[in-house]
Amino acid sequence: LGKADYTLINLGQRERKGAGYNEDAYFRSVMNIRNADSRPKEPKLKQPTVYDFQFYDPRLLSLLEKERNEFERRQHEHAATASQGSRPESPWSGLTEEEQALKEELLQDEDAFPSWNRRDFLALIRAFERYGRDDLESVKEDVEGKTPEEVMQFIDVFWKRYKELNDWERILKRIEAGEARLARQEEVTRILAKIMKRY
């Protein structure tokens, strides 16, 4: 038996037309059914993100809450009247003109800290835990992304208004626990130095 001579036939690649068979797309095009996402979108409330640690005027927080509650109430009314078949009024008319003007004014408050985010605030709290309330030089150098002047401005307002924070008791306990740890370390260091003097 000798070597057999085999010739291979090159059949080529199969060509694919389209990305595949999609029943939904086919029936939508044949029956001219509108996509569920094409129905009119419900209006969304656009509010600035404001945190308690940014120390805006408390009136701003109450205005934003009122605006949010009123928006949700009107959306429920809008949905109820739309489901009954009657023509509903616009779901949102906003705050009164005076309230809207006050809101805009309070958002521009120079005493607030809009550039401070949660990361900056938590970095400050960790610095207070690490160095205590009295070592402000170390604290202001420890907060990354903020100048020492910005940190000192924030610290001044923080210690005047910290009770406005939602969880101020927990934050204060964290700082006090850090200060207690520092005090223990200093005590241990003092005792060890005293013992070393004896020898």
What are the average pLDDT values for consecutive 10-residue runs of the chain, which has 199 residues? 62 66 73 59 79 93 90 82 61 75 91 94 95 93 93 95 94 95 92 86
pLDDT at residue number 23 = 75
Can you spell out the DSSP letters for 36-94? GGGSPPPP--------GGG---HHHHHHHHHHHHHHHHHHHHHHHHHHTTS-PPPS---
**125: nearest Cα among 143, 111, 148:** 143
**Rounded Cα gap, residues 63 and 12, in angstroms:** 70
**Rounded Cα gap, residues 105 and 102, in angstroms:** 5
**168: nearest Cα among 132, 121, 119, 123:** 121
pLDDT at residue number 31 = 76
**118: nearest Cα among 171, 44, 65, 172:** 171
Contact present, 158 and 124 (Cβ < 8 Å): yes
**Rounded Cα gap, residues 175 and 179, in angstroms:** 6
pLDDT at residue number 84 = 66
pLDDT at residue number 17 = 63
pLDDT at residue number 4 = 60
